[in-house]
Amino acid sequence: MSAAFDLSTDTSGRLVFVDPAGTRHQNVRPLRMFPLTEPNHWISLQDASGREVGCIEDPSKLSEAQLTALRMALAKRDFVPVIRTIHRVARAADGHEWQVTTDRGPTKFRTENDEAIQSLGGARFVIIDDHNTRYLIPNVEDLDRDSRRKLERYY
Amino acid sequence: MPVQPQRALYNLANRLIFRATRNRLPSHATTDSTETLLQHAEARLSANERTIARLQTDLDASLHFHRGMVILTSLRLLSVEATKNRDISFRSWRLLDVEDLVLEELGATAEVHLVQAGELEYAWRVITGRVREADAFLARFKEQQRILRSESAALQKALDGNGGGDEFDDDATTTGPRGSPLIRLLKFALPWRSLLVLGFLLTLAHVGAQMITPWLTMDLVDNVLIPLQSATDRVHVKHVYRFAAFLAGAAVLTWMLNWAKTFVVARLAERVTSRMRRETFEHLQRLSLTYFNKKRTGDLISRIGSDTDHISLFISINLIEFLSDSLFFFALAGILIWKNPLLAIAALGPAPVVGWLVNKVRTHLRGGFAAASRAWSAMNSVLTDVIPGVRVVKAFAQEQREIDRFRAADKHIFDTNDRVNRTWSFFTPMIELLTDAGLITVWAVGAWAVAHDRITVGVLTGFVFYIYRFYGRLESMSRFLASAQRASASAHRIFEVLDVQPDMPVNDGRKKIGRIRGEIEFKGVKLRHGSRQVIKGIDLKIQPGEMIGLVGPSGAGKTTIVNLACRFFDVTEGAVLVDGTDIREIDVEDYRRNLGLVLQEPYLFFGTIAENIAYGKPQATRAEIIAAARAARAHDFILKQPDGYDSMVGERGQQLSGGERQRISIARALLIDPALLILDEATSAVDTETEREIQEALDHLVKGRTTIAIAHRLGTLRKANRLIVMEDGRIVETGTHDVLLAHSGTYARLHQAMMEVTHR
Write out pLDDT tens, residues B10-44. Answer: 444 444 444 333 333 333 444 456 777 777 777 77
Which residue, B196, B153, B171, B160, is CA-closest to B49?
B160
Q: Say if the Cβ atoms of B646 and A34 lie within 8 Å.
A: yes
> Are residues A95 and A64 located together in one domain of the fold?
no
Q: Say if the Cβ atoms of A120 and B642 lie within 8 Å.
A: no
User: What is the C-alpha separation between B28 and B509, in angstroms, rounded?
Assistant: 39
Chain A interface, mutation test: which of B643, B647, B648, most A Cβ atoms within 10 Å?
B643
- Å between A38 CA and nearest CA of chain B: 9
User: What is the C-alpha separation between B318 and B483, in angstroms, rounded?
Assistant: 7
Element (H, E) at B48: none
> Are residues A98 and A66 located together in one domain of the fold?
no
Nearest CA in chain B to A57: B623
User: What is the C-alpha separation between B194 and B200, in angstroms, rounded?
Assistant: 10
**Three-state DSSP class for B388?**
coil
Chain B residues lying within 8 Å of A127, measured CB to CB: none
**Pair type for strands B100-106 and B109-116:** antiparallel
User: What is the C-alpha separation between B605 and B615, in angstroms, rounded?
Assistant: 9
> Are residues A119 and A88 located together in one domain of the fold?
yes
Q: Say if the Cβ atoms of A38 and B622 lie within 8 Å.
A: yes
Q: Residue B153: what pLDDT?
A: 53
* Cα separations in angstroms, A15 against A44, B100, B603, B635: 13, 82, 39, 22
Question: Is A11 at the interface with chain B, CB within 8 A?
Answer: no
> Are residues A90 and A68 located together in one domain of the fold?
no
Question: Would A119 be classed as within a structural domain?
Answer: yes
- Please give the full DSSP string across B233-273, using - where no structure is assigned: S---HHHHHHHHHHHHHHHHHHHHHHHHHHHHHHHHHHHHH
Burial class (CB in 10 A: 0-12, 13-18, 19+), B92: middle
Beta bridge mates, B678: B597, B708
Question: Is A46 at the interface with chain B, CB within 8 A?
Answer: yes
Write the pLDDT tens digit of every residue in B504-547: 555 566 778 778 888 899 998 888 876 678 888 889 999 998 88
Task: Quote ipTM for the complex.
Answer: 0.81
Chain B residues lying within 8 Å of A31, measured CB to CB: 639, 644
Beta bridge mates, A107: A100
**What are the residues whose beta carbons fall under 8 Å from the beta carbon of B249, sequence distance 6 or more?**
none
Question: Among positive and negative, which fits the CA dihedral B242, B248, B251, B256?
Answer: negative
Question: Is A80 at the interface with chain B, CB within 8 A?
Answer: no
Nearest CA in chain A to B610: A34
Question: Is A58 at the interface with chain B, CB within 8 A?
Answer: no
**What one-letter code names the amino acid at B420?**
V
Chain A residues lying within 8 Å of B650, measured CB to CB: 115
Neighbour order of strands in the sheet with B595-599: B595-599, B676-680, B706-710, B547-551, B722-727, B730-735
Q: Say if the Cβ atoms of B644 and A37 lie within 8 Å.
A: no
> Are residues A94 and A135 located together in one domain of the fold?
yes
Question: Would A1 be classed as within a structural domain?
Answer: no
Question: Among positive and negative, which fits the CA dihedral B295, B297, B301, B304?
Answer: positive
Q: Say if the Cβ atoms of B610 and A34 lie within 8 Å.
A: yes
> Are residues A24 and A57 located together in one domain of the fold?
yes
Q: Which of A16, A51, A77 is the last residue of a domain?
A: A77
Write the pLDDT tens digit of every residue in B679-728: 887 776 666 777 777 777 777 777 778 989 888 777 777 778 888 988 88
Burial A21-33 (b: 16+ CB within 10 A, else e): eeeebeebbbbbb
Q: Which residues 586-605 on chain B approach chain A with CB closer than 8 angstroms?
A: none
**What are the residues whose beta carbons fall under 8 Å from the beta carbon of B282, sequence distance 6 or more?**
none
Q: Residue A128: what pLDDT?
A: 85
Question: Is B104 at the interface with chain A, CB within 8 A?
Answer: no
Residue ranges and CATH numbers for the domains of chain B are 5-170 (2.30.29.30), 265-499 (1.20.1560.10), 509-593+712-760 (3.40.50.300)
> Are residues A70 and A122 located together in one domain of the fold?
no
Q: Say if the Cβ atoms of B646 and A51 lie within 8 Å.
A: no
A54 pLDDT more than 60 = yes
**What one-letter code names the amino acid at B125?**
R
Question: Would A41 be classed as within a structural domain?
Answer: yes
Q: Say if the Cβ atoms of B639 and A36 lie within 8 Å.
A: no
Q: Say if the Cβ atoms of A36 and B646 lie within 8 Å.
A: yes
Question: Is B623 at the interface with chain A, CB within 8 A?
Answer: yes
> Are residues A93 and A145 located together in one domain of the fold?
yes
- Å between B408 CA and nearest CA of chain A: 30
Taking a C-beta distance cutoff of 8 angstroms, is the pair B733, B749 a contact?
Answer: no
Alpha carbons within 13 A on the beta-carbon side of B12: 19
Taking a C-beta distance cutoff of 8 angstroms, is the pair B478, B427 a contact?
Answer: yes
What is the count of structural domains for chain A? 2
Nearest CA in chain A to B651: A115
**Three-state DSSP class for B80?**
strand
> Are residues A65 and A88 located together in one domain of the fold?
no
Chain B residues lying within 8 Å of A41, measured CB to CB: 622
Q: Say if the Cβ atoms of A132 and B642 lie within 8 Å.
A: yes
Taking a C-beta distance cutoff of 8 angstroms, is the pair B582, B755 a contact?
Answer: no
Cβ count within 10 A of residue A60: 8
Residue B125 phi/psi, 5-degree rounding, is: -120, 135
Neighbour order of strands in the sheet with B100-106: B88-94, B76-82, B65-73, B51-59, B119-127, B109-116, B100-106
- Å between A7 CA and nearest CA of chain B: 20
pLDDT > 90 in chain B, percent: 2
Burial B446-464 (b: 16+ CB within 10 A, else e): beebeeeeebbebbbbbbb
**What one-letter code names the amino acid at B131?**
V
- Please give the full DSSP string across A99-140, using - where no structure is assigned: EEEETTEEEEEEE-SGGGEEE-STT-EEEE-TT--EEEES-G
The size of the A-B interface in CB pairs under 8 A is: 44
Which residue, B417, B217, B431, B207, is CA-closest to B333?
B207
**What one-letter code names the amino acid at B623?**
A
Which residue, B630, B636, B637, is CA-closest to B658?
B637
Q: Which of A14, A42, A77 is the last residue of a domain?
A: A77
Element (H, E) at B15: helix B5-22
Chain B residues lying within 8 Å of A115, measured CB to CB: 648, 650
Chain A interface, mutation test: which of B611, B624, B646, most A Cβ atoms within 10 Å?
B646
Q: Which domain holds residue A99?
A: 83-152
Taking a C-beta distance cutoff of 8 angstroms, is the pair B173, B3 a contact?
Answer: yes
Nearest CA in chain B to A36: B646
Burial B423-443 (b: 16+ CB within 10 A, else e): bbeebeebbeebbeebbebbe
Chain B residues lying within 8 Å of A112, measured CB to CB: none
Read off the DSSP letter of residue B501.
P
Taking a C-beta distance cutoff of 8 angstroms, is the pair B224, B235 a contact?
Answer: yes
Residues of chain B with pLDDT under 50: 1-31, 154-178
Question: Is B436 at the interface with chain A, CB within 8 A?
Answer: no
Cβ count within 10 A of residue B355: 11
User: What is the C-alpha separation between B262 and B260, in angstroms, rounded?
Assistant: 6
Question: Is A37 at the interface with chain B, CB within 8 A?
Answer: yes
Question: Is B640 at the interface with chain A, CB within 8 A?
Answer: yes
User: What is the C-alpha separation between B381 and B553, in angstroms, rounded?
Assistant: 32
- Please give the full DSSP string across B430-445, using - where no structure is assigned: HHHHHHHHHHHHHHHH
> Are residues A46 and A93 located together in one domain of the fold?
no
**Three-state DSSP class for B302?**
helix
Alpha carbons within 13 A on the beta-carbon side of B213: 19
- Please give the full DSSP string across B324-362, using - where no structure is assigned: HHHHHHHHHHHHHHHH-HHHHHHHHTTHHHHHHHHHHHH
A107 pLDDT more than 80 = yes
Chain A residues lying within 8 Å of B636, measured CB to CB: 50-52
Beta bridge mates, A95: A92
> Are residues A18 and A72 located together in one domain of the fold?
yes
Cα–Cα–Cα angle for B270, B273, B274, rounded to 5 degrees: 80
> Are residues A31 and A68 located together in one domain of the fold?
yes
Is the pTM value of this prediction over 0.80? no
- Please give the full DSSP string across B170-186, using - where no structure is assigned: GSTTS----S-HHHHHH
Chain A interface, mutation test: which of B605, B611, B639, most A Cβ atoms within 10 Å?
B639
User: What is the C-alpha separation between B622 and A57, in angstroms, rounded?
Assistant: 10
Nearest to A32 among B626, B636, B644 (CB): B644
Long-range contact pairs involving A142-146 (C-beta distance under 8 Å, separation at least 24): A143/A83, A143/A84, A143/A85, A143/A86, A144/A85, A146/A85, A146/A86
Burial A124-146 (b: 16+ CB within 10 A, else e): ebbbbbeeeebbbbeebeebeee
Cα radius of gyration rounded to whole Å, chain B: 35
Question: Is B636 at the interface with chain A, CB within 8 A?
Answer: yes
Write the pLDDT tens digit of every residue in A10-25: 777 788 888 888 888 8
Q: Which of A53, A77, A101 is the last residue of a domain?
A: A77
Question: Is A91 at the interface with chain B, CB within 8 A?
Answer: no
Taking a C-beta distance cutoff of 8 angstroms, is the pair B145, B95 a contact?
Answer: yes
**Three-state DSSP class for B165?**
coil
User: What is the C-alpha separation between A109 and B649, in angstroms, rounded?
Assistant: 23
Residue B149 phi/psi, 5-degree rounding, is: -65, -40
Alpha carbons within 13 A on the beta-carbon side of B634: 34
Nearest to A33 among B644, B648, B650 (CB): B644
* Cα separations in angstroms, B717 against B581, B721, B737: 28, 9, 9
Nearest to B645 among A34, A46, A134 (CB): A34
Q: Residue B363: what pLDDT?
A: 67
